[in-house]
């Protein structure tokens, strides 16, 4: 693994981009001499990330808020937002990472594990690293060869890779400092998430629920890469929750924790969402199947599980529970709670007490028929809508979810969560399946379809944190596959599948600004930062990910099929 720039990438860049990448890849010492100073990202800065001028981690801070207090760009002047630069990656798969910013250093990742450092004000390339995937077939990467960004700590930048490595590089120069293999490639696992650094440990989780991989979360020493602890999300028979699986089913039980977790510093608790069980067909694995489709709370020093809450017991619809868990303080029914909230794939918006894992409330944010509610704090489902090998069912939402991976944001002033939403249903039927390492392990066939009661594929919603009820909604004919960013300027930013980056009034959902049409559909997570007293907003355009691969009728909609591809990073500020 080395700093490099492949010819195929150079050939698709403008001449100025080629020169900059050659400088970064072939003359790192000269590039380093011209780079701005790199400020160490200390533990204190991570703990105070909400107040930092940069964007220091995947969802800005440990609460996973996706909120920045900056108000230079606000509802009164956002119409003056203009592009500052547009960086072209030369790649055509899905571009999903947020720009992570430390001072003038901006770090972006691309499909196929390229990591690029840019000047956050000009887009000049400071260095680039291309991870060597030549020995990995990537046959067990489920949903496009994507990456969701980096973690920062001290002088290092960390990237998880599709071939299940964690790589640490020098933030100032791109020099590889260590490279640790967690598990082999092509046997049922991949890594696409942004790592999370907590108390000197880099923490990652794996994908693999569609291939029977037994999910795990692992912590490594941030300085050396030494492996510190590993927690399986599917318990063995002698562990708590092990009795929720048939004999030996835990070995291929899925439960990939494939999105970045949340850290409660006050309680010293790490919270992480866990994905779907394997195989998809639930009749093959009777029981609740812990800890799939759950949020689990762990001790970050040891990985020991403290509590859990399960969104969908004995899931047979791929209602993956890996979605973000956002820390909020809320008041429900007149009582204050320390909570985590999540918009689940199953169409319900959940608030969970983060001190003990108990349900506070669950409210529908999309049409939901298979998951019906709760009884005594446990989620209930409709047995009539469970597929078998002899029965096809029609249910909502589809396995793509009322919301998929793209993250929500919250605003502590408006007391709302901003939820990118899809309105889909599906036909799904059981099928015979046998486990074989490296091959899909589903046991179901399916077709994604329209919600018959909604003509639109998507929307963005504002949801009250204190009630779970919708406050406003912006409908979209195309699927809404982008995360949201909320700011102290009273704005919510998100991007559309037809290539428009938009700013909404955070209180009422009115569209206040729309960019000109960008190069591609937007699925990249937006971020914002301040440099030299100026606020910037940045987002990737680069259509791809799960929707065009697994989207059925939605993916075949001519308006969706016609979305152009190609990765561009767009950065905006007031002019």
Closest listed residue to residue 108, CA positions, set 164, 52, 174, 20: 174
Beta strand spans in 112-255 (E): 114-119, 125-130, 151-153, 156-160, 165-170, 176-181, 196-198, 201-205, 216-221, 227-232
Closest listed residue to residue 325, CA positions, set 289, 346, 354: 354
Distance, C-alpha 154 to centroid of its chain = 24
DSSP 8-state code for residue 457: S
Closest listed residue to residue 244, CA positions, set 274, 204, 210: 274
Taking the CA atoms of 543, 544, 546 and 548 in sequence, report the sign of the dihedral they define. positive
Closest listed residue to residue 539, CA positions, set 83, 159, 114: 83
Q: Active-site residue among 318, 320, 451, 498?
A: 318
DSSP 8-state code for residue 305: E
Secondary structure class of 249 (helix, strand, coil):
helix
Token pair of 260 as six digits: 């970045």
Q: Decide: residue 339, CB within 10 A, 0-12 exposed, 13-18 middle, 19+ buried.
A: buried
Secondary structure class of 101 (helix, strand, coil):
strand
Determine contact, residues 574/80, Cβ cutoff 8 Å.
yes
Those residues with Cβ within 8 angstroms of residue 242's Cβ, 6 or more apart along the chain or in another chain: 235, 236, 250
Told to judge if 186 belongs to the known catalytic residues of this protein, a careful annotator would answer no
Beta strand spans in 354-488 (E): 359-364, 371-375, 378-381, 392-395, 409-411, 416-422, 424-430, 444-450, 458-464, 470-476, 485-487
CA distance 157 to 213: 27
In the Cβ-directed half-sphere of 554, how many Cα atoms lie within 13 Å? 33
Active site (catalytic) residues: 318
């Amino acid at each position: 693994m080395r700093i490099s720039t492949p010819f195929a990438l150079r050939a698709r860049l403008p001449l100025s981009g080629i020169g900059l990448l050659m400088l970064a890849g072939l003359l790192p010492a000269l590039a380093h001499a011209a780079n701005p100073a790199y400020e160490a990202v200390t533990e204190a800065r991570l703990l105070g990330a909400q107040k930092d001028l940069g964007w220091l981690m995947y969802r800005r801070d440990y609460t996973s808020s996706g909120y920045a207090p900056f108000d230079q760009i606000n509802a009164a002047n956002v119409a003056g937002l203009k592009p500052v630069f547009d960086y072209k990656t030369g790649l055509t798969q899905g571009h999903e990472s947020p720009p992570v910013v430390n001072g003038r250093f901006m770090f972006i990742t691309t499909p196929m594990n390229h990591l690029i450092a840019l000047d956050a004000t000009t887009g000049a390339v400071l260095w680039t690293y291309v991870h060597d995937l030549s020995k990995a077939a990537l046959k067990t990467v489920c949903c496009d060869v994507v990456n969701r960004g980096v973690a920062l700590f001290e002088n290092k930048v960390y990237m998880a890779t599709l071939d299940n490595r964690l790589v640490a590089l020098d933030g100032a120069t791109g020099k590889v400092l260590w490279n640790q293999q967690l598990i082999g490639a092509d046997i049922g696992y991949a890594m696409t998430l942004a790592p999370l650094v907590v108390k000197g440990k880099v923490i990652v989780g794996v994908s693999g629920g569609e291939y029977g991989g037994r999910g795990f979360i692992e912590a490594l020493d941030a300085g050396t890469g030494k492996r510190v602890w590993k927690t399986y999300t599917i318990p063995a028979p002698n562990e708590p929750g092990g009795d929720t699986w048939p004999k030996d089913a835990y070995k291929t039980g899925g439960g990939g924790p494939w999105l970045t977790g949340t850290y409660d510093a006050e309680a010293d608790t790490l919270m992480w969402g866990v994905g779907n069980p394997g195989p998809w067909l639930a009749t093959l694995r009777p029981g609740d199947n812990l800890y799939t489709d759950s949020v689990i709370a762990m001790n970050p020093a040891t990985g020991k599980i403290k509590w859990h809450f399960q969104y969908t017991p004995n899931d047979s619809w791929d209602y993956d529970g890996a979605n973000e868990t956002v820390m909020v303080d809320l008041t429900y029914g007149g009582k204050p709670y320390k909570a985590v909230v999540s918009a689940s794939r199953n169409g319900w918006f959940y608030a969970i007490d983060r001190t003990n894992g108990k349900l506070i409330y669950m409210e529908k944010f999309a049409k939901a028929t298979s998951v019906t509610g709760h009884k005594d704090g446990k989620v209930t489902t409709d047995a009539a809508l469970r597929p078998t090998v002899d029965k096809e069912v029609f249910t909502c939402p589809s396995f793509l979810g009322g919301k998929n991976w793209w993250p929500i944001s919250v605003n502590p002033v408006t007391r709302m969560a901003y939820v990118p939403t899809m309105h889909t249903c599906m036909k799904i039927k059981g099928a015979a399946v046998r486990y074989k390492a490296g091959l899909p392990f589903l046991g179901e066939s399916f077709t994604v379809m329209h919600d018959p009661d909604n003509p639109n594929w998507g929307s963005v919603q504002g949801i009250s944190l204190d009630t779970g009820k919708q406050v406003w909604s912006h409908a979209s004919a195309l699927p809404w596959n982008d995360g949201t960013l909320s700011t102290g300027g009273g704005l919510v930013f998100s991007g559309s599948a037809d290539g428009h980056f938009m700013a909404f009034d955070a209180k009422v959902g009115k569209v206040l600004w729309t960019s000109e049409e960008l190069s591609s559909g937007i699925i990249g997570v937006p971020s914002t930062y301040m440099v030299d007293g100026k606020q910037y907003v940045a987002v990737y355009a680069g259509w791809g990910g799960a929707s065009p691969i697994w989207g059925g009728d939605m993916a075949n909609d001519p308006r969706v099929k016609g979305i152009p591809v190609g990765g561009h990073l767009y950065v905006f500020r007031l002019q």
